[in-house]
Amino acid sequence: MKIPKYFTALIIALTFAAAAQANVVNISMDPITGLPTNDVLTALANNGTTTNFSSLTGQVGLYNAYHGLNLAAPTITNFFNGSSNTVNLTGYTYAVIQYTMGPDTLNHGGAIQFVYLNGTIGNYTFSSHGFGSVSSVRLFSVAGSPAPENVRSIMLLGLTSVGLLGTRRLVRA
């Protein structure tokens, strides 16, 4: 009977399609008001890794406090520095994107955006912000980063499918 083969193929295809749907989440918070914002228009002392890490740590704390969540704190032991707006997110949990100043300089560009990667893996392109372009992307992970949520979902669905097929064979016997 060919139905189980087609059914299994359909389940696998849907699982991979769902896994590819992970979305990054902007966690930028206004440090003055403590409210969500699209970006943080602050003049950092420099655009270095340590400064970005320190700012990210503060943003995660503000985001958790505002939304009543418990996103894990980033660590500086595993980070990536890049200047392209397309980067491989696999193995990282947060991104800090620095944008250049746009031509009109009124709340467009010259800002920093803090992003929770939400288990997104593979290459991802951060879009231009206002009229400014991406000048740097820094990726940070968390200590003992667990498998991304979509990987756990795939494993759970796979184990469930195997269990259902095994149960079906037992019932037919």
- The 3 state secondary structure assigned to 30-41 is CCCCCCECCCEC
Cβ neighbours of 135 (radius 10 Å): 15
Write down the domain spans for the chain.
1-22+148-173, 24-146
Whole-model pTM? 0.68
From 68, 74, 29, select the one nearest 50 (Cα to Cα). 74
In the chain, the percentage of residues whose pLDDT exceeds 70 is 60
Question: What's the burial of 54, exposed, middle or buried (CB within 10 Å: 0-12/13-18/19+)?
Answer: middle
Whether 147 has a pLDDT exceeding 50, the answer reads: no
Residue-wise pLDDT for 6-36, tens only, equals 666 556 655 555 545 568 999 999 888 888 9
Give me the chain's average pLDDT, please. 77
The rounded radius of gyration (Å) of the Cα atoms in the chain is: 21
Q: Give mean pLDDT, residues 120-138.
A: 84
Query: What is the pLDDT, as a whole number, of residue 158?
Result: 62
